[in-house]
Amino acid sequence: MKIILGNSTRSLFALSVLVGLLPLYANAIETRFETDAALPIVYLNVAVKAGAANDLLGKSGITNFVGEMMLRGTKTRTKAQIDEAIDQLGATLAVEVRSEAVIFRGRVLSAKLAEYMEILQEIITTPSFPEKEIKKLKAEVGSQILEARGKDNSLGKVMWEGFLFEGHPYGKPILGKTKETAALTRADLVRHYADLFQDRNLLVVGSGDSEASFVDAWAARLAEKRPNSAGENPVHISPLPKAFDHKRVRFIDKPDRTQTQVYFGQIGVRMTDPSFFPLFLANHVFGGGSFSARLMQEIRVKRGWSYGAYSYFRQGIRPRSWQAYTFPATKDTAAALALIDGMLRNYRESGITLEEFQFAQASLINSAGFAFNTPAKRVENILLEKTLDLPDGFMKTYASNFEKATLPTTNAAVKKFLAPDQLSILILGTAKDLKLKAAESLKVPESSIEVVPYLKE
């Protein structure tokens, strides 16, 4: 097995590796391909280093819309013809839109790779944005938004992101808002596509039964067909999200709820921040994936208030979020709010114990290797590194960074980071049943809790 790094100006890149002087040239789609002939399959991904955070003002959802529309017609193929061609190759192709990335994910038999690349190149370089498909997709996206509002967990997630990142691009819903997506025009889509799909914003990552030189040559053809526009890159990195200096509580009011969705959180830290790994380790104890985590033990195991209770970091090019989440029955929500608030304060002041630290450290070190033990996982790691502006190979440093952590530095990091009196808290439930009780549990005036109807976008 070998990993070969490259780009569409391969000789220049090879020279830069040898002499350690030349940068990766701007007019060159960066490629990362791992040759693995264990199976006659190739996984090929084309990513744009921009996502929903780059949606235009008043046009939320446009990046997702552009990505979906690119699969619905090129200058030489209709949607039906694209679907048929992919099926005939026994291949798969789908688009995923994140806050800071658009990823076209594909899989094909290695014997059919060249044919597959021709289709994918058409999709990336010559989308046609047919009006008929735009109309269909608007109806589909509108239905998806309404469906999400009917599911408390998905509605809560969208509302939480919008609340925590109020006024910041990270708060933009990937699907967009109903009225704004309905108002998108073909001209809007063509212009946004042109801004995003330029060679300086593109990345090709893959693995499988092929050679990097073959993928490299294909990336060069993409670069030729999607040159950079004049001037600076239309894609801009989001500003730093705002950290609030006081506790905020928002209640998403939805009638007749027998269960609630509860979020506690604050702005997080970058993965490259020196405190990230100590904080990650401590969070594994407090609310991480282990069933022995404090939140899971207290909320589910001991009291049976909710099927789950977790805390975790979400990452971005900028510091994104740390958040705790649970979904108790309405009758148990007030008690759960008070318990979590108290647990957070104790977590900040007392940290974790030596026994908890040693268990978490060993667990995380032992599991770190599973993050890159298959070609598919290594491809995903490269996508994360490139789209989140992380150093090459960063995802392989988890074990060594956990080894460096100590109990004093871990607890000091928690105490410095966590701000229980400046958290954002969101509750999705029925306000008339819970607002007063929530205020009492959180020790805030009832009048300070903002109530928002669940249908408000």
C-alpha distance from residue 171 to each of 99, 175, 366, 428 (Å): 9, 12, 35, 17
**Shared domain check, 155 and 253:** no
Whether 173 is in a domain gets the answer yes
**Whether residue 105 sits in one domain with residue 209:** yes
Domain-ending residue, one of 169, 191, 225: 225
Residues 193 and 291 in one domain: no
Residue 303 lies in a domain: yes
| Res 246: pLDDT | 96
Q: What DSSP line would sit under 210-275, residue for residue? A: S-HHHHHHHHHHHHHHSPPPSSS-S--PPPPPPPPSS-EEEEEE-TT-SB-EEEEEEE---TTSTT
137 & 269 share domain: no
> Does residue 240 form part of some domain?
no
Is 237 domain-assigned? no
d(CA 264, CA 438): 13
Query: Which parts of the chain have pLDDT scores under 70?
Result: 1-27
3-class state of residue 317 by DSSP = coil
CATH at 171: 3.30.830.10
Q: What is the tally of structural domains in the chain? A: 2
Instruction: Kindly state whether residues 197 and 258 are assigned to the same domain.
Output: no
Same domain for 67 and 104? yes
Q: Clarify whether residues 277 and 415 are in a common domain.
A: yes
Domain span including residue 397:
248-453
Whether residue 402 lies inside any domain: the answer is yes
Residue 233 lies in a domain: no
For residue 450, give every residue at least 6 positions away whose Cβ sits within 8 Å of its Cβ, in sequence order, or none: 248, 249, 250, 251
Amino acid identity at 268: G
Query: Residue 419: what pLDDT?
Result: 98
pLDDT given at position 290 = 86
Query: pLDDT per residue over 249-265, tens digit each?
Result: 999 999 999 999 999 99
- Looking at the structure, do residues 271 and 198 belong to the same domain, yes or no? no
Q: Are residues 219 and 307 in the same domain?
A: no
Q: Which of 128, 117, 127 is nearest to 93 (CA)?
A: 117
- Whether 39 maps to a domain, the answer reads yes
Q: Are residues 45 and 113 in the same domain?
A: yes
Do the Cβ atoms of 249 and 450 come closer than 8 Å?
yes
* Residue 450 · residue 250 · CB < 8 Å: yes
* Same domain, yes or no: 284 and 137: no
How buried is residue 2: exposed, middle or buried, by Cβ count under 10 Å (0-12/13-18/19+)? exposed
Is residue 322 within 8 A of residue 164, CB to CB? The reply is: no
Q: Are 157 and 252 part of one and the same domain?
A: no
One-letter amino acid of 248: R
Tell whether 143 is covered by a domain. yes
Q: Which of 390, 401, 391, 393 is closest to 365 using CA atoms?
A: 401
- DSSP class of residue 206 equals E
